[in-house]
Amino acid sequence: MTRSIQSLWVPAAAIESTPDKQRAEFAEIYDQHFDFVLETVRRLGCAVSDREDLVHEVFLRAHTSLGKFDATRAMRPWLFGIAFRVVSEQRRSGRNRFEVAAREWESASERASPESDAIAQDARAKVDLALQRLSVEQREVFVAHELCEVPVSDLVEVLHAPLNTLYSRLRLARAAFADALDDILGRKEEP
C-alpha cells in the first residue's frame, strides 16, 4: 500500500512540536504495518466490532513509545508486542467479545478482496476456527510464532514467560492446532 498518512497531521502546532523526521518515521511505520497490526489483532481473537478501536490504540501506543524502539531490531515483533498488550488488556477488561465465530471476522469488503482467492479464504477460515480451540496461552504463542513469525526468543518479554516454557507451550499448541484442524476437516479435506 503506497498511501501515506503524513498529510493527516499537519496542523501548525503539530509541525512545531513534532520533528519532521519523527513524523515521517511514524507515518512510514503506520503505512507499512497497518495491515499487519490489523491481522495480528484479528488473529489474537478479538471481535470484528473491536478491531478498529484496538488498531487505533496500538498505533497510538506505538507513536508514544517510538522513541524507545531499538532501531537495530525488527519492527514487527515490537508492534506485535504492543498489539498483544492491547488485546490482553481488552480481554481482561471483559469489554469485548472474543471467541467469536471465525466467519464473523470477515467483513464484506474482506471477502471481496481481489487478493484473496476462494481457497485461501477457506484455508484461513479453517485456521481461524482451529485457533479458537486453543487455550488463550497456546493461541498467543502459536499466533505470535507460527502466523506472525515472531522468533520465540523475542516473545520472552512480550508474553512474560521463560524461554523453555514458551517452547513447551508452542509444542503443545502445535499439537492442539493439528488436532483441531483434523476435527474441522473431518480428516478428509485438504486445502
Partner 1 sequence: MTLRGSDVEKYLQHARRVPSAPAELRARVDARMKASLAATASTETPGSRPGAFRVLRSSTLVVGAACLALLCGLLVVGRNSVSPSRVPQCEKPGKRASASSDVANPVDAASFAEPVPAPTPSAPRALGRRPRRDVPRAAPSPSLGEERELLARARASLARGELSDADRTLAQHALRFDRGALAEEREALRVHAAAMGGDLDAAATLLRTFERRFPESVFTPTLRDALNRYRGATTQ
> Of 35 and 99, which CB lies nearer to partner 1 in the complex structure?
35
CB 41, min distance to partner 1, A? 11
Residues that bind partner 1 (CB under 8 A): 1, 5, 8-9, 11, 13-14, 16-18, 22, 30, 34-36, 38-39, 43, 51-52, 55-56, 59-60, 63-68, 85, 89, 92-93, 107, 109-110, 113, 115-116, 119-120, 123-124, 126-128, 130, 146-147, 149, 160, 174, 177-178, 181-182, 185, 187-188, 190-191
CB 10, min distance to partner 1, A? 9
Exposed/middle/buried for 7, CB within 10 Å: 0-12, 13-18, 19+? exposed
> Of 151 and 191, which CB lies nearer to partner 1 in the complex structure?
191
Angle (nearest 5°) at CA 161 between 158 and 163: 100
> Of 1 and 71, which CB lies nearer to partner 1 in the complex structure?
1
CB 79, min distance to partner 1, A? 12
> Of 72 and 160, which CB lies nearer to partner 1 in the complex structure?
160
Q: What whole-number distance in Å separates Cα of residue 29 and Cα of residue 149?
A: 18
Q: What whole-number distance in Å separates Cα of residue 39 and Cα of residue 55?
A: 9
Distances (CA, A) of 101 to 89, 97, 115, 177: 21, 10, 23, 17
CB 184, min distance to partner 1, A? 10
Q: What whole-number distance in Å separates Cα of residue 29 and Cα of residue 141?
A: 24
CB 31, min distance to partner 1, A? 10
Residue 1, classed as helix, strand or coil, is coil
| Residue 115, C-alpha cell as written in the block | 487478493
